[in-house]
Amino acid sequence: MQYLLGRRQFVIARSPVAIDPSWKVRPLPDGWLLSSQEELAISDRTVDGRAVLVLGVPDGEETLDTATSGRYAMIDWPFVSTDQGAGLLPAFYAAGGGVVSSSAGLAASLARGEAANGPAAFYPLPDHGETLKFPSPMNYVPSPGTRYRRIRRLMRDQRLNIVTGEVEHRPAPLPAAGSYQQAVDAVAEELTRAARVLRERTPGRIHLQLTAGLDTRTMLAAFSASGVAYETVTFRYPFKPDEDASLAATLSRELGVRHSVVEGKPTPDAAAGEAYLRQIAGNMNGVDLNFLFPCHAYRFLEAGDTMVGGLGFEVGRQKFRSQFGELDLGTATGAALWQGLTQGAGPSDFPAFIDEWLDWRRRHPYPFDLVASTYLDQRLGAWGATLLTGFDLLPGATVHPAASARVMAAMLSAPFEAQVEGRLQRDVIRALAPTLLAHPFNPVPLRRQLRGVVSRAKRRVRKLLGQGRPPAASAS
């Protein structure tokens, strides 16, 4: 396994960049150059009568509205933009202009004028420092508190003027479904289509990530209904419920699908962990950063294979609702959102980054609420994008078919109560593979239920005792 660079790196700058001899250079107008890895597909396309370059999609392959085609950037000179599904191929640019890259580390190094003395020159190990003390599910990228704070990331509704360094709005609509049933049908159709397309494009095996949860079972229903060949895999790591592996094995056995449980190797590989940390630009990726990559848990993935995950479904389950309470886009502040997410103040530049994002989102609102907007921009387009950038270190490909505009728009079209309950996903499973509903989602073992009952009872007793005490006598 190589632990230097992923397979989808590019740089747009005034000078050529060659991390190694395999990098290729293509001239752009006005003296700019596109440097890229040999493995990054670049295709000439025509969009609305204009000649454009698409990065990340081979010639002849359709840029589908789904993560099966997935993560691409488009150069429509002088503009560069990312895919409008989820923005899963990040594009970073220096705040002062002059460089654009798929890697925050590369952009930061080039913007500082560092010499190209090999990969280490472009990938200084991020100084997590404050960031590790204040992990957040928002995961703004680049993470505040790291040396990449002067680098900005293009969001799915932005385009960058490469020459001037100015960011402009690029409408990225998520059209609502006409009815709840149409939303269910749209998700079912899109996911089964994605399964068939993936099978056509995957010369090796398809590994479907499977847990005891709702998201991966919705994907399992689509692959089961599509009739394509695939197998399932469950990761086992510290704090992972045992039920994930046992229930996944039961579901796979009933479907006649091969299931594997993968654990990390007992001795972590520091070089692998460091490479992943560099690749994700210091973002806080939790389990992957601390366990899965250093312990080589992805060693089953081979060249030509595809690994399929459930990233994207959370948008329809109102993730962050409990943390945000009554906050809305009009009243939210960076400090309030950060407090809701972390229950702590954090360094001063953390809320400032969020305020910057809130200002953009108020000027260019999605047709959805604060929770969905936060998920799309900061959970999916930030954490999810850097996660997949880290996966570029792996052989094969990793895709998330639910991270498509059509699926997310349909899920957000469901009534609020249906989103919170995950009703739409259950109805998709019922339409595609109803037998999968016979098993519970994320079952809680009896022993854990009893521990919860005892804990709640103790809290109530302590509260009652505290309320029943007479006031303390004042000192005379």
- Please report, for the domain that includes residue 234, its CATH number: 3.40.50.620
Give residue for tokens 């029943």: 468
By CB atoms closer than 10 A (0-12, 13-18, 19+), residue 76 is middle
Q: Is the pLDDT score of 254 beyond 80? A: yes
More confident residue, 395 or 252: 252
Eight-state DSSP code of residue 71:
-
Dist. CA 217–CA 220, nearest whole Å: 5
Q: Is the pLDDT score of 274 beyond 70? A: yes
Q: Lowest-confidence range among 295-304, 307-316, 384-393, 445-454? A: 445-454
Tally of domains within the chain: 2
Joined tokens for residue 366 = 């999605």
What is the model's pLDDT at position 141?
61
Residue 395 is assigned to a structural domain of this protein = yes
Strand 206-209, strand 306-308: pairing: parallel
CB 108 within 8 A of CB 91: no
Residues 86-132 pLDDT 10s:
678 888 898 777 899 988 778 877 876 653 444 434 444 444 444 43
CB 148 within 8 A of CB 281: yes
CB 363 within 8 A of CB 156: no
Residues 138 and 16 in one domain: yes
Residue 174 is assigned to a structural domain of this protein = no
Residue 419, C-beta contacts closer than 8 angstroms, at least 6 positions apart: 316, 317, 318, 411, 412
Listed residues 121, 137, 169: the one ending a domain: 169
Residue 148, C-beta contacts closer than 8 angstroms, at least 6 positions apart: 104, 105, 108, 126, 142, 281, 282
Residues 184 and 129 in one domain: no
Query: Model confidence at 237, in pLDDT bands (50, 70, 90)?
Result: confident
What is the model's pLDDT at position 427?
97
Query: Model confidence at 476, in pLDDT bands (50, 70, 90)?
Result: very low
Residues 220 and 150 in one domain: no
Listed residues 114, 144, 169: the one ending a domain: 169
Residues 149 and 184 in one domain: no
- What's the average model confidence in pLDDT over 38-65? 81
Joined tokens for residue 38 = 């040999």
Residues 155 and 210 in one domain: no
More confident residue, 66 or 322: 322
Residues 252 and 155 in one domain: no
Residues 55 and 198 in one domain: no
pTM equals: 0.85
Residue 226, C-beta contacts closer than 8 angstroms, at least 6 positions apart: 192, 195, 196, 199
Residues 286 and 402 in one domain: yes
Residue 124 is assigned to a structural domain of this protein = yes
Residues 135 and 187 in one domain: no
Residues 262 and 200 in one domain: yes
Residues 164-216 pLDDT 10s:
999 999 988 888 888 999 999 999 999 999 999 899 989 999 999 999 999 99
Query: Model confidence at 417, in pLDDT bands (50, 70, 90)?
Result: confident
- What's the average model confidence in pLDDT over 234-238? 89
CB 75 within 8 A of CB 55: yes
Q: Is the pLDDT score of 242 beyond 50? A: yes
Eight-state DSSP code of residue 29:
G
- What's the average model confidence in pLDDT over 67-89? 80
Residues 99 and 227 in one domain: no
Residue 347 is assigned to a structural domain of this protein = no
Residue 335 is assigned to a structural domain of this protein = no
Residue 393 is assigned to a structural domain of this protein = yes
| Nearest alpha-carbon partner for 358 in 346, 367, 370 | 370
Residues 302 and 160 in one domain: no
Q: Is the pLDDT score of 27 beyond 90? A: yes
Query: Which residues span the domain enclosing 139?
Result: 10-169
Residue 22 is assigned to a structural domain of this protein = yes
Query: Model confidence at 345, in pLDDT bands (50, 70, 90)?
Result: low
**What amino acid occupies position 312?**
G
Residue 331 is assigned to a structural domain of this protein = no
Q: Where are the beta strands (DSSP E) in 196-288?
A: 206-209, 231-236, 259-263
Joined tokens for residue 114 = 């560092």
